[in-house]
Chains A and B, each alone.
Chain A
Amino acid sequence: MDNWLVVMMLSASTLLGALGLWALLWGLKTGQFDDPKKFLDGALLDSEEALQDAIEMENRKKELKKKKEKSYSPPD
């Protein structure tokens, strides 16, 4: 068996495994596993309407932000 084959197999499998580990750690860090029920409920509650609500809220946030920036006057 060629050396490069062993090197390639070892590094490819380790890298793939590390990729999976990284994804898991990323999920942990960003709180993807904090609310297991939300995923199950999502199947029941998600709808076009929910998306609509989310967009509306985003827009509202932007508007309020703009308003805040306008009303803010820097000290002289």
Chain B
Amino acid sequence: MSKIRCSHCHLEYDESILIEDDGLYFCCKGCQGIYHLLKSEGLDDFYEKLGSNTIAPPKEIKESLEKFDKEAFFKKYVSITKEGFCSISLVIDGIYCSACIWLNEKVLHKTDGIVEVSINHTNNKAKIVWDNDTIKLSSIIEVIRNIGYNAYPYDASMQEVQANAKRRDYYSRLLVGIFCTMNIMWIAIAQYGGYFTGMRDDIKDILNFAAFILSSPALFYTGGVFFKGAYYGLKNRFVNMDLLVISGALSAYIFSIYSMFSGHGETYFESVAMIITFVFAGKYLEVLTKKRVVDTLDSFSSSIPNEVLVVNEQEKIFKSIESVEAGDIIEIKAGERVAIDGIIVSGEGSFDNSSLSGESEPVYLKAGDKVLSGGILLDSVVRYEATCAYKDSTLHKIVSLLEDAMDKKPHIQKVADEISGHFSSIILLFSVLTFFGWYYYTNSFEQALVVAISVIVIACPCALGLATPVATLVGLSRAIKRGVLFKEASLLESIAKCNTVVLDKTGTLTYGKPSVVKVFLKKEIDLSLIYSLVSLSTHPISRGVKEYLSKQKPTLYELKGIKVIEAKGIKAYYAGKKIVLGNRAFLSDEGVSFSEDLDQMSVLHIAIDGSYCGAFYLEDSLREGADQTVKWLKLKGLRVIMLSGDNRAVVQKIAKRLEIEEYHDSMLPEQKAKFIKKLRSNSRRVVMVGDGINDTLALSNSEVAITLGSGTDVALSVSDVVLLEESFDGLKDAFLVSYRTYGNIKQNLAISLLYNVITIPLAMAGYVIPLIAALSMSLSSLLVVGNSMRIK
């Protein structure tokens, strides 16, 4: 069969399955509709711009547009501009190339009532300004959907903007600092020359003044954050690094101004600029890593609905979730997310709890059953009675849990801060003692001050301060190249110190998606028929069978009388034959009885015209690289434990294959969390690897939480490390990079400590002038940076 490209999405398909339309070919009705729409609107330039690129065929979007016009939605996402127009930030889904952006912009430009459109080509975020009297937001979203894309709102006023603003502010400060330092160094070179060969006083004054002009913005603009930090530190009675940096830089600055005007002694403006810029560069690196954490939290909070439909005495009203009380009857439709816990009073349906439990199979719930917030109703309409207010519901608890976790500082960082606090106090004390000592013996204020400044400058925490961040930054970038994302730099250290690894089974060690492992057919049947039927269902088992059959290149038949019964099975008619696929109960409902069955496996039975034909047996498969990684972890002397909510037989089988001696089955989320707590109380340092919400509690209780990139949003937000690739090798890489980085940090600390131990006494003895102190300080920083680059 020949392959032909779809005229809209440009993907290649077999000729037989394409829809022919006047010499054009389309892979689906969606592509066909969009093609004609663009043509009639005169937008067919799009295909020229698309060139040989391909895009995804449009997805059918079931989510209703109503919510975009609701008041609560408006309040949350829409802002009013000065001119009285509405403005919203959207993320546009389905953009693959610049032609897609062109098309979206063009279509929105043509829409009446829209006054401003700007789409960011790099991250596909769009800002739209419109006149609400001319067009409603739902119509704008509809326009975007009509051309095969989808748009989600995001709250741009939240943390993302703040984080971006902070990053930008720090970047500007850093640029100013670098500019001043670079220029001041040219002047300093002339001054150094004059120091050895002699220089006329008037030239010296000019150079001093230029250096003074250049060092001022570095100290007060770039160093502004240190002033602030030192102020807050003092306010809370805490001596921090910031204070040390400021006292060193400021005293050198003031002394330089004094010597510039009095003509006594040397000026040290270049030291001021250098101290500030070097230390600030380290601080800037910290801000960079923080931004990533904010990104994940944003994606989670946007999935919570902000309004629910409350039914009271035959009247339906929308209430914001915060105002719903226990006892209210709430109605939800297919595709909606449950916002508040409750008990079903009428209706029945399948709920996708995958974002809560990590289990891929939908749960079938009927009147009297309990629904949990966070689940999504897949079919029908269900009314349920709220059993609590939003603030007590599962979903809200998880969100607040997350926010708490974000605020918590890792233990190691606290210790590091404390040590540097002590270090700063001691150095300040040393310099004060040095000043009085020298003043007492030499009776020269100037000399005493110069030596005291030298002590502060030479001990300036550069090397000590850079030891950790530079090594971790190098480690982080090496890790990202291997597909491992650390949310915080200090985690590299934490992982290296851990001695126990706890692994979740479903979705972590295994893919969490069943695939066909055995086929049993009683008689010859047309497998294309089965393929056509399973294509109709989104159930994981159907998907597993579909994936298996699609390798045999089946054809799609047109079926009649299709009936999909969620969580049970599918039936349909083809050429007068009745085909039934489903579980044992469903087939016996249809009057088919049989004896075959296999424990520990998911099964899809087949019956045609009332007679049993066979079954597909499915099993969850082991993740790629899982066995080697587990072996490697054990080789490194780590204690490996497997936890699972599954039954004993399944867990035992996997444990045997992976040679894990320690495993626990049938564990509930709380039990997993307790288990981790117990391990930690026995002074074990625990790394937990998991994926679903069922692991979230355990993850947040562990020392370091690692999730796979395919995990649920909540698990991703609570985790410290994300493995971006599907394979399990990422876990090994995470440990490897951590070990190397931690080793490097220790070397760096040793270098800077040794440096301080040698230089501080020298400075106190007066052998080092501030100029040499600043130079040697830079040298020690270079040593530390150079050593960090060796991490592979």
B-binding residues in A (CB < 8 A): 1, 3, 6-7, 10-11, 13-14, 17-18, 21, 24-25, 28-29, 34-38, 40-41, 44-45, 53, 56-57, 60-61, 64-65, 68
Contacts and interface: CB of A to CB of B under 8 A. Distances in A.
Interface in B428-478: none
B122 to A, nearest CB: 5
A18 B121 CA distance: 31
Interface of B is mostly: helix
B49 A53 contact: no
Contact of B106 (A14, A37, A53): A53
A6 B49 contact: no
B106 A57 contact: no
B183 interface: yes
Contact of B115 (A1, A10, A17, A64): A64
Contact of B172 (A29, A35, A60): A29
14 contacts: A11-B210, A14-B210, A14-B214, A25-B172, A38-B120, A44-B49, A45-B98, A53-B106, A60-B115, A61-B83, A64-B113, A65-B84, A68-B83, A68-B84
B17 interface: no
B98 A37 contact: yes
A28 B121 contact: no
B109 to A, nearest CB: 5
Nearest to A61: B115
A21 B109 contact: no
Interface string B206-243: 11001001100000000000000000000000000000
Contact of A45 (B49, B85, B109, B210): B49
A53 B172 contact: no
A56 B109 contact: yes
Contacts of B109: 53, 56-57
Nearest to A53: B109
A29 B168 contact: yes
B371 interface: no
A35 B116 contact: no
Interface of B: 49, 83-85, 98, 101-102, 106, 109, 112-117, 120-122, 131, 133-134, 168, 171-172, 175-176, 179, 183, 187, 202-203, 206-207, 210, 213-214
A36 B122 contact: yes
A28 B83 CA distance: 26
Closest 3 CB pairs of A and B: A37-B121, A61-B115, A41-B98
B119 to A, nearest CB: 9
Contacts of A11: 210
B134, B187, B202, B206 interface centre (most CB from chain A within 10 Å) = B206
Contacts of A65: 83-84
Contacts of A35: 120-122
A3 B206 contact: yes
Contacts of A53: 106, 109
Contacts of B102: 41, 45
A63 B102 CA distance: 25
A4 to B, nearest CB: 10
A46 to B, nearest CB: 10
Nearest to A13: B183
Contacts of A28: 168, 171-172, 175
B183 A44 contact: no
B564 to A, nearest CB: 43
Contacts of A17: 179, 183
Contact of A38 (B122, B187, B202): B122
Nearest to A21: B179
Highest count of chain B CB atoms <10 Å: which of A3, A21, A60, A64? A64
Contacts of A44: 49, 98
B206 A7 contact: yes
Contacts of A57: 109, 114-117
A42 to B, nearest CB: 9
A38 B112 CA distance: 25
Contact of B213 (A3, A14, A24, A34): A14
A10 B83 contact: no
A19 B227 CA distance: 27
A6 B203 contact: yes
Contacts of B113: 64
B203 A34 contact: no
A3 B202 contact: yes
A10 B98 contact: no
Nearest to A45: B102
Contact of B206 (A6, A21, A38, A61): A6
Nearest to B110: A53
A29 B131 CA distance: 28
A14 B171 CA distance: 21
A25 B175 contact: yes
A58 to B, nearest CB: 9
B207 to A, nearest CB: 8
A53 B120 CA distance: 18
Nearest to A69: B84
A11 B202 CA distance: 16
A61 B203 contact: no
Nearest to A62: B115
B134 A10 contact: no
B172 A34 contact: no
A29 B165 CA distance: 9
Most chain A CB atoms below 10 A, which of B115, B133, B171: B115
A64 B121 CA distance: 28
Nearest to B112: A60
A36 B120 CA distance: 9
Given A25-B172, A28-B172, A64-B115, A10 B206 contact: yes
B116 A61 contact: yes
B206 to A, nearest CB: 5
Contacts of A41: 98, 101-102, 121
